[in-house]
Amino acid sequence: MTNAAILAVAGILLVAYLIDIASRRFRLPSVVALIAVGMLLRAALDAFGIHFGWVDPVVPIIGTLGLILIVLEGALDLEIRRERMRLIAKAFLSAFLGFAVCAVAFAALLHHMLGLDRYTATLAALPFAVISSAVAIPSASRLAHQAREFVVYESSISDILGVLVFYAWLESGGSFMRFELGLAAGVAASLAVAAVAAAVLYGLLSRLEGHVRFVPLLAGIAFVYAAGKAMHLSPLVVVLGCGLLLNNPRILHRVQLLARLHTPEYDKALAQFKGLVSEVTFAAKSFFFVLLGYWTDPHEMGEPRAWIIGGAMIVTIYLTRFALLLGLRQPAADRLTWIAPRGLITVLLFLGATEAANLGAFPFGTVMLVVLATSVLVVHAARANRADVPTAVRPPESSG
């Protein structure tokens, strides 16, 4: 049993690494390939009468850890400067308006098609309105620097908005007053916790010595996330805030005590920490999507209602996104339109919705159809003909 487990874990990681190389070579989303591997693995094991019952509780756990790491990795790559505030503002508007429009449209769709009440229909619709940073950030790797930054900010903000709004609506019981109060309190408290946690982590990263330095930092971030979720805060705000402040220490240096903690070795330690986060993120994402594929029932994806609802959602996603990007005058709108995948965060929030409300009328195959279709359509972003940035013009040579 032990040897089989080691073979399975090592095999999944090696296959995921090969898929990652192939996806970058052929510009295909690795998420789809990983899910396909999981589905093929289930089909093969079912043929021999083998079933792993432990997958059901493990998928949400690995997915949550992957989400923490993905947001942290994205935040550690972002620099906050005055000249980028306009880009951040555009990303926020795009994430907020796109999320709001899709949430309202999807809730109306589920209310009329499935007969769900307003509270339940909205709860089921919210996960589909969130852009998944787990898929979007890697998909933007071939875009120009500014477009790539836009995707990182937008998808991270969309994740945060999704979690904030989802849990605020879940706790509200359908009352708009309770929803607004819970949302405002959650944002304020999360920002306060993020500032304190970032200051503590910065002090540790600046002063920690020895061979074991970065795993305790990751454990601390995961602990703060879990504690924030238990207190009904938005723990992704804490994770994003920690990553941004660690990568932009000049903001923390405005506090004299923190400025004194800075050491010349900080930049080297931060680079090593980023490397560890990238490695662990790769492993968590790989296991999650393979197990998600194993966990998926192909028969549910063949239900006609799943195709009708999923198709309506997909059309709404891309029509509204293209209109928003044009309205915001965002460069490379033709490429960015296709980077609106639903993925890890959609699955996790939908699982939370099924635990909290009766969604018996909802065809679960819709979730995987939307996730797979939007992930595949990301390919159009890499294959768009128009360049993101103009080719650099060589300065004229001096005649003297």
pLDDT averaged per 10 residues, the chain (length 400) = 76 87 76 86 80 73 82 78 82 93 95 90 94 81 81 85 84 82 79 84 77 82 83 76 84 78 81 89 86 82 91 95 91 87 87 83 89 86 51 37
Cα–Cα distances (Å) from 343 to 5, 38, 136, 160, 309, in that order, read 27, 15, 9, 14, 17
Residue 264 neighbours by CB distance under 10 Å: 6
For residues 79, 375, 159 and 325, what is the CA-based torsion angle, rounded to 10 degrees? 70
Using CA atoms, how far apart are residues 276 and 174, in angstroms rounded to an integer? 42
Query: What domains, with CATH codes, occur in the chain?
Result: 8-48+57-383 (1.20.1530.20)
Token digits of residue 355: 């635990």
- With tokens 């090969």, the residue in question is 18
Q: Quick one: pLDDT at residue 382?
A: 63
What is d(CA 99, CA 292) in angstroms, rounded to the nearest whole number? 24
Q: For 80, how many CA atoms within 13 A lie in the half-sphere containing its CB?
A: 15
Q: Is residue 127 classed exposed, middle or buried when 0-12, 13-18 and 19+ CB atoms within 10 A define those classes?
A: buried
Dist CA 158 CA 99 (whole Å): 7
Q: Which two tokens stand for residue 343?
A: 């993925």
- What is the structure's pLDDT at 397? 37
**CA distance linking residue 121 with residue 362, whole number of Å:** 10
Contact predicate 142/382, CB 8 Å: yes
CA atoms within 13 A on the CB side of 126: 24
Nearest to 87 by CA among 137, 134, 151, 161: 151
Q: Which two tokens stand for residue 178?
A: 């309770």
Residue 1's pLDDT is 60
| CA quadruple 233, 123, 310, 350: dihedral, nearest 10 | 50
Q: What is the amino acid identity at position 364?
A: F
Query: What sections of the chain are H helices per DSSP?
Result: 2-26, 30-47, 55-75, 85-114, 118-125, 133-139, 145-172, 176-207, 214-230, 235-247, 249-252, 256-261, 266-295, 298-301, 304-327, 333-336, 344-356, 365-377, 379-383
CA 269, 274, 280, 283 torsion-angle sign: negative
Cα–Cα distance, 5 to 54 (Å, whole number) = 13
Residue 245 pLDDT: 84
